């Protein structure tokens, strides 16, 4: 089950797709959000992938690998919070929110599996 390249993993592919979807949706956020919500939700969603890339460089050291995957999970959780704000501010509708959060939660479950089963990755 171990992928030689993190980019081959389901979690990376799903996290990358979500980050790109958030990027496209956030293009419609108001200009006054450019340096706050827009930048933050883009940064945290992209960081899920970046932390996974870093984690795979640490695969020889299980504790370091798990540490970096937990960083990825932290960024994924942060993205969830920014999506909450995006909905509350009415920048996205309920349908968009539910789709994005569903993807976010699925990524979280995959990351949780990685954290608890590092030997399988």
Full-model pTM: 0.94
For the residues of 17-76, what is the DSSP string, one character each? HHHHHHHHHHTTS-GGGIIIIIHHHHHHHHHHHHHHHHHHTTTTSHHHHHHHHHHHHHHH
d(CA 60, CA 3): 14
List CB contacts of 38: < 8 A, sequence separation 6 or more.
26, 29
Domains observed in the chain = 9-24+33-120 (1.20.1440.60)
Q: Tokens 């899920």 label which residue?
A: 48
pLDDT tens readout for residues 8-17: 999 999 999 9
What does the block give as tokens for 52? 């996974």
Quick: pLDDT tens for 23-39. Answer: 999 999 999 999 999 99
């Amino acid at each position: 089950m171990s992928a030689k390249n993190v980019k081959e993993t389901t979690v990376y592919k799903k996290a990358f797709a979500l980050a790109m979807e958030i990027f496209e949706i956030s293009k419609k956020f108001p200009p006054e959000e450019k340096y706050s919500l827009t930048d933050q939700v883009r940064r945290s969603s992209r960081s899920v992938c970046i932390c996974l890339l870093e984690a795979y460089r640490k695969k020889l050291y299980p504790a370091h690998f798990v540490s970096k995957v937990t960083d990825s999970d932290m960024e994924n959780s942060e993205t969830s919070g920014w999506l909450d704000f995006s909905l509350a501010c009415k920048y996205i509708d309920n349908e968009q929110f539910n789709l994005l959060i569903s993807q976010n939660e699925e990524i979280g479950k995959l990351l949780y599996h990685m954290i608890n089963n590092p030997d399988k990755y």
